[in-house]
């Protein structure tokens, strides 16, 4: 799926993915499990995958990168010059995937707020909740049930991103305790930004999340979508 250009019907260059997992705040134990899941995705495709926690290396690789994955990053991970390069990458057509605490990153950088869609506020304890599909026609959520139960660490966000992004999945706050966003609690979304595309999901805190075919499939389809494949 990731190596085919449907607009031409011909084989395209392999998708080039750089996964960035620098943490200057909380560090998730599940980063390694997520990396393994991403390796599984590329084994099923012709995509090329690189991992780095070095911001300078990330920026140096942008000219050869189609999609950057901010994999559970935390804190201020890029300096001012690196921010400028990253913004140019997105606005000129690059893709972005943000996973879980990517929303706990770069609070003082307004452009990153546009990229990630909403910043983390707080969360209750890990627990099960019902996830609802909000945009059933979107290809990223193709094949998902209209509602299903999964366990994760459910973020509350500083603001509701609806209206700025296309909400794909939301939480039923009546199905768990500690949600504070009310009847409309987005948890996964995407958007076009300049010539680029971005996707964010709040899923992924637990190691068990990355054995969940629904999450792995969601990320695989998101990679295709943000890369315009």
Nearest CA-CA partner of 210 in 30, 39, 51, 23: 30
For the record, the structure tokens of 183 come out as 């009847």
Domain parsing of the chain, residue ranges: 4-226
**Residue showing tokens 């010059």:** 81
- Between CA 59 and CA 103 the distance in angstroms is 20
Position 99 scores a pLDDT of 98
Position 4 scores a pLDDT of 34
pLDDT digits (tens, 9 = 90+) for 1-47: 454 333 433 356 899 999 999 999 999 999 999 999 999 999 887 89
Position 142 scores a pLDDT of 97
Average pLDDT for residues 190-216, to the nearest whole number? 98
User: In terms of pLDDT, which residue wins out, 61 or 5?
Assistant: 61
For the record, the structure tokens of 117 come out as 């869609």
- Between CA 162 and CA 80 the distance in angstroms is 28
Query: Would strands 147-152 and 127-133 be described as parallel, antiparallel, or unpaired?
Result: antiparallel
pLDDT digits (tens, 9 = 90+) for 110-123: 999 999 999 999 99
Does domain 4-226 match CATH 3.40.50.880?
A: yes
Q: pTM higher than 0.85 for the full model?
A: yes
* Residues 6 or more apart whose Cβ sits within 8 Å of residue 192: none
């Amino acid at each position: 799926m990731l190596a085919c250009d449907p607009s031409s019907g011909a084989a395209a260059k392999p998708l080039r993915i750089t996964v960035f997992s620098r943490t200057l705040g909380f560090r998730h134990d599940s980063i390694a499990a997520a990396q393994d899941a991403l390796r599984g995705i590329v084994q099923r495709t012709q995509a090329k995958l690189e991992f780095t926690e070095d911001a300078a290396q990330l920026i140096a690789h942008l000219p050869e990168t189609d999609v950057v994955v901010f994999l559970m990053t935390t804190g201020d991970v890029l300096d001012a010059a690196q921010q400028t390069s990253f913004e140019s990458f997105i606005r000129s057509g690059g893709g972005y995937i943000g996973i879980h605490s990517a929303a706990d990153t770069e609070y003082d950088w307004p452009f990153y707020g546009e990229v990630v869609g909403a910043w983390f506020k707080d969360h209750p304890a890990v627990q099960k909740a019902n996830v609802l599909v909000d945009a059933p026609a979107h290809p990223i959520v193709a094949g998902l049930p209209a509602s299903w139960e999964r366990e994760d660490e459910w973020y509350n966000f500083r603001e509701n991103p609806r209206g700025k992004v296309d909400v794909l999945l939301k939480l039923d706050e009546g199905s768990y305790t500690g949600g504070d966003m009310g009847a409309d609690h987005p948890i996964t979304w995407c958007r076009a930004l300049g010539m680029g595309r971005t996707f964010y999901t709040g899923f992924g805190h637990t190691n068990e999340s990355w054995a969940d075919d629904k999450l792995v499939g969601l990320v695989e389809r998101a990679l295709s979508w943000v890369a315009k494949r």
